[in-house]
Structure formats: C-alpha cells, structure tokens
C-alpha cells in the first residue's frame, strides 16, 4: 500500500447501523481541513451488514473516499476488534490527521489507538484549525493541526499541537462543528476491505443491552430554556418546562439542577453534559459557573434570569433580568402569548 492514501480521515461512528450526528459534522470539518491542506478527506467505516448507505451519506457530506469494513461481528462496538482494524487501516493509509467524535465510544477507542501508534491525542476539542508552530528549540512546523480545547475544568482554553507525530488525532464533541452542505450527487470512492480478525480479539461478551429512548436531542434545539439550582425545587422547575413549551423550545438544566433531581440527566447542558448552540438560550436561576458556560456560550442570544446581580451568567448574557424567575417566567409567558 502506498503512503498518504488520505489526508484528513475520520472514524465514522454508527448507532444501530445509522451514522451518529457527530460523524456527519466530522465529515464536514474533514472536507474543510482537507481543502485548506490541499489534500483529500476520507472515512473509516466499520459495522455489520448494510452499512453502504452510510458510506454514501459520508461522501455526500464532502468525503472523497470511504473505507468500508463490513463484518457481522462488528455490528456492535467492541474496543479490541475496532482498535485492531483501525490501527491497521491507519498504518496502511497514512493520514495526516484522524478525527473521532468525543462520544463514549470515541473516547474509549481513540486513546487505545493512540497508545498503540504512540501518537498524541487531544480530547474534546472545541476547535480545529490549521496553522504554523515554532517549537521552543526553534524548529518550525507549517500547516499543522491546532487542537483547541478547554482545560482546567473549563477555566482555560488550550491550543494543543502534535508536531512530530503522525497522524495527528483529536476527538470532537457533537454540536461544535457546524454541519456543512449535503450534496447527494457528489462522487466518491468506496474501498471494501475484510475485517481480517481471527476471533481472539472478541474477549468481551455483552449479555444485556438496554437502549435508553432519547427524550430529546438538545443539539438540534433552536430554543432552550434551562434551569439551575436557583430554581429551588422540582415544583418550581415546572415553570422552566412551561416556558420551554410556550416558546416551542426544549427544557434543559445545569448539572446542579440535575443532581438535585429537578430533571433527568439527559437534559444536562455543560462540560459533562451536552454542548448546545441554539438561537436562544434562556438561563433561569443558573449562576453561570465555567463548566456550564462551556456548554452554552456559543448560543446566538442568551437571556439570563437570576436574583443575584453578580452571578457570572450575566457576563455572557445578551439580556439580563435581575429578578425572581418565579415571577419573571409567568410574565414572559404572558408577553409571548399576547404579542401583537
């Protein structure tokens, strides 16, 4: 196999045979980075029978080439077989960079691969750019991948580089990359390869699998009304739900509100929850600690309601209401229902 069969590659993650959203986002980003580097963009797609449709979709989102490894035994994710196949693929195709979704699977798989390949890996990137780097010794590197992520619990933003090792690898959270355009007429290449696994890799045995029915996908909500510990009680949280429903949006919560039992963890926004970029984010009784802001600071418009005028949330808000949400929310609902 010759060197450099692809420039920027992604690991395309499936959920019950369908591409997860972050994989489409990664395809868009890979296209953008590849164009910037004047190279190609591709995907490594592993799964059970019937994944060809996923390959076509990846090409439609901007990829030039998709390596398809279709094997019944790969239908469900399993660390060792997936890592083995991908390490081999990466070694054969010599990409400049490989991107993974910062999903539980991505964060289980990517470090295993990085360790085997002895390369660097940056987790949970909130930005990826191409730029130059000068090492402390003076050596210059051009057109390398800037892997940008929050560190120190979100209190700093770090730009990480891996100048000396290839591929450069990073995991990216869903909701960070704006989905590019889909063009179903786009042409790309499909390369089918056998899994080439002898069975010794399948050490784990899954005896039960429980699929949680996802109540809502916060990353696609245009309007989000979130409640924090300042809401005070599960009873008061009903107002948050009511405002969300009135405005046609989704409810959400800070980690503190989830921990207090006001709402299910599925609705948590923040560094350990979901990252969201809605048009409108209304934060009710949320102090605005860094870990929460990391999950919503990119919203187009932020409204903050809090009785504490010094709450950090007001620093990222476009509109601030210093008041009790138990009184303010009903007024907002009334104003919306009676708008001219």
| Distance (Å, whole) CA 271 – CA 261 | 18
Options 56, 75, 88, 159; binder of other proteins; rule CB under 8 A: 159
Residue 317 is a binding residue for other proteins (CB under 8 A): yes
Residue 164 is a binding residue for other proteins (CB under 8 A): yes
Contacts of 180 (CB under 8 A, 6+ apart): 27, 28, 29, 31, 32, 61, 62
Q: Convert residues 274-313 into a mask of x (bound to other proteins by CB under 8 A) and - (unbound).
A: -----xx--------xxx--------xx-x-x------x-
What is the nearest approach in angstroms of other proteins to the Cβ of residue 93? Answer: 20
Window 8 to 27, contacts with other proteins (CB under 8 A): 15
| Distance (Å, whole) CA 148 – CA 144 | 13
Nearest residue to 105 via CA among 244, 12, 9: 12
- Give the tokens for residue 17: 């045979």
Nearest residue to 42 via CA among 80, 3, 99, 88: 99
Q: What is the DSSP string of 219-238?
A: GG-SEEEEE-GGG-SHHHHH
Specify whether the backbone of 88 is left (phi greater than 0), alpha (psi in -120 to 50) or beta: alpha
What is the nearest approach in angstroms of other proteins to the Cβ of residue 301? Answer: 5
Window 243 to 272, contacts with other proteins (CB under 8 A): 247-248, 271
Window 110 to 139, contacts with other proteins (CB under 8 A): 110-112, 114-116, 118-124, 133, 135
Whether residue 273 contacts residue 293, with contact meaning beta carbons closer than 8 Å, is answered with: no
Q: Which is nearer to other proteins, 157 or 182 (CB)?
A: 157
Stretch that binds other proteins, among 33-41, 53-61, 72-80, 178-186 (CB under 8 A): 72-80
What is the nearest approach in angstroms of other proteins to the Cβ of residue 295? Answer: 13
What is the nearest approach in angstroms of other proteins to the Cβ of residue 103? Answer: 6
Window 77 to 106, contacts with other proteins (CB under 8 A): 77, 79-80, 83, 103-105
| Distance (Å, whole) CA 181 – CA 249 | 25
Residue 172 is a binding residue for other proteins (CB under 8 A): no
Q: Which is nearer to other proteins, 187 or 209 (CB)?
A: 209
């Amino acid at each position: 196999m010759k060197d450099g069969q692809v420039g920027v590659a992604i690991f395309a993650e499936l959920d019950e045979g369908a591409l997860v959203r972050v994989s489409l986002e990664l395809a868009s980003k890979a296209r953008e980075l590849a164009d910037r580097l004047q190279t190609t963009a591709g995907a490594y797609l592993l799964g059970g029978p019937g994944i060809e449709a996923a390959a076509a979709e990846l090409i439609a989102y901007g990829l030039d080439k998709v390596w398809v490894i279709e094997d019944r035994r790969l239908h469900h994710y399993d660390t060792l077989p997936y890592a083995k196949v991908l390490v081999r693929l990466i070694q054969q195709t010599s990409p400049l960079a490989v991107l993974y979704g910062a999903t539980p699977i991505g964060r289980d798989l990517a470090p295993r691969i990085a360790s085997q390949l002895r390369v660097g890996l940056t987790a949970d990137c909130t930005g990826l750019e191409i730029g130059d780097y000068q090492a402390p010794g003076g050596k210059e590197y051009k057109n390398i991948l800037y892997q940008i992520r929050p560190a120190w619990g979100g209190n700093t933003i770090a730009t990480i580089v891996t100048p000396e090792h290839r591929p450069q690898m990073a995991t990216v959270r869903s909701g960070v990359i704006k989905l590019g355009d889909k063009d179903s007429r786009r042409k790309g290449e499909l390369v089918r390869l056998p899994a080439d696994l002898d069975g010794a890799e399948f050490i784990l045995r899954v005896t039960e699998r429980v699929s949680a029915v996802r109540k809502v996908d916060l990353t696609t909500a245009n309007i989000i009304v979130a409640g924090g510990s300042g809401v005070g009680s599960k009873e008061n949280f009903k107002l948050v739900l009511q405002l969300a429903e009135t405005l046609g949006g989704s409810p959400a919560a800070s980690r503190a509100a989830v921990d207090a039992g006001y709402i299910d963890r599925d609705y948590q926004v923040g560094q350990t929850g979901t990252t969201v970029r809605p048009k409108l984010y209304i934060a009710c009784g949320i102090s605005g600690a860094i870990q929460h802001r990391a999950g919503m600071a990119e919203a187009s418009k932020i409204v903050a309601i809090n009785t504490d005028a010094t709450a950090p949330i007001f620093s990222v808000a476009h509109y601030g209401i210093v008041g009790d949400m138990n009184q303010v929310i009903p007024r907002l609902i009334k104003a919306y229902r009676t708008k001219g």
